[in-house]
Amino acid sequence: MLSLRLPIPSESVLASVMQRPPRFLNARNQTHLFCSPTLSEPKALQSSTPQATAADVVTREEEEELNDGTTPPEEELPEGLRRELMPKHVAVIMDGNGRWARQRGLPPGAGHRAGVESLKALVELCWRWEIRVLTVFAFSYDNWIRPKVEVEFLMSLFENVIQSELDKFAREGIRISVIGDWSRLPESLQALIRDAEEKTRKHSRLQLIVAVSYSGKYDVVQACKSIANKVKDGIVQVDDIDEGLIEQELETNCTEFPYPDLLIRTSGELRVSNFLLWQLAYTELFFAPDLWPDFGKDEFVEALVSFQERQRRYGGRK
């Protein structure tokens, strides 16, 4: 059930920064998803960012031409992948941003920015390869204990993402859903999330579910509380409680495909870290040694190939 690749020797820090190949499928369509240069960043997390060149600039007309409608350009799947065996729902624990930055002598913010580039590439791959749902673990409820300056930076980054990329998501038919305990999020971020969900709720090309301030245990507890209140109010009888009813009360009730087919965890850690605990009951797991900023197309293809080679028996025999 598990697929674990052995770590490869780490490359030179300078070489990895200077020689790392572009991660984008279309170099003309780089719009700095989750990484706008206008973001105000705390000094403790600041890092130098290369300025865009003339070759990176896309006119509004060109961008509209590239993203006209919700159907991406036809693209053959990489060798070894079969379209009929592609997962409908992929979940990702994006781990290793901090370690990636430390290895290069950079502040944590640089790692989060690099991780954003990997996420941008993954969203585009899922969009092109017709994966229906991508759920990413962006910020755990347990992450609130991290240094205040890092948490504030991440909250600002989330806000900037929604503000700068909402129109692009709309053009490409991407639906945005955010799951987790919103009570600790800044009010301005909560307002932006509500606006993004409303503006994209009818889109169906790809659903991007972002778990922010999320905990798998919290998810189950809030579902239990909701059902208990319905029992108390006479809406539901105790004998009516079953797996289907619990599923309807989980945070992932926002999607047609609440159970991930494949979970990918990066950075070599072999645990699910309180993520989608109920929903992962029969999910195929893939653990990659790469730190999240180093996880790209080749690594994603490897995870998908591994998934397609497995037999999913759900407790039975085949």
Walk along the chain (318 residues) and give the pLDDT tens digit of each residue: 444 444 434 333 333 433 444 443 433 333 333 333 334 445 445 444 444 444 444 444 444 444 444 555 667 899 999 999 999 999 999 999 999 999 999 999 999 989 988 998 999 999 999 999 999 999 999 999 999 999 999 999 888 878 888 888 899 999 999 999 999 999 999 999 999 999 999 999 999 999 999 999 999 999 999 999 999 999 999 999 999 999 999 999 999 999 999 999 999 999 999 999 999 999 999 999 999 999 999 999 999 999 999 998 888 876
Q: pTM here?
A: 0.78
CA separation for the pair 286, 131 (Å, rounded): 17
| Measured distance CA(269)–CA(288) in Å, rounded | 8
Distance CA 56, CA 54 (A): 5
Question: What is the homologous superfamily of the domain 86-308 according to CATH?
Answer: Decaprenyl diphosphate synthase-like (3.40.1180.10)
* Residue 61 and residue 32 in contact, taking contact as beta carbons nearer than 8 Å: no
Q: Can you point out the beta strands (E) in 110-205?
A: 133-140, 174-179
> Could you say which of 95, 261, 290, 294 is catalytic?
95
- Residue 119, judged by CB atoms within 10 A of its CB (0-12, 13-18, 19+), counts as buried
Predicted confidence at residue 153, as pLDDT, reads 93
Q: What is the pLDDT of residues 227-257, one digit of tens each?
A: 999 999 999 999 999 999 999 999 999 999 9
> CA-to-CA distance for 313 and 36, rounded, in angstroms?
44
Q: Where are the domains of the chain?
A: 86-308
d(CA 138, CA 156): 13
Q: What is the pLDDT of residue 83?
A: 95
Q: Residue 293: which of 137, 95, 128 has the closest Cα?
A: 95
Residue where the block lists tokens 């674990």: 4
Amino acid at 83: R
In the residue annotation, 240 being an active-site residue is answered as no
Residues 246, 172: contact at Cβ < 8 Å? no
What does the pLDDT read at residue 163? Answer: 86
The tokens of 289 are what? 């040694």
pLDDT score for 160? 86
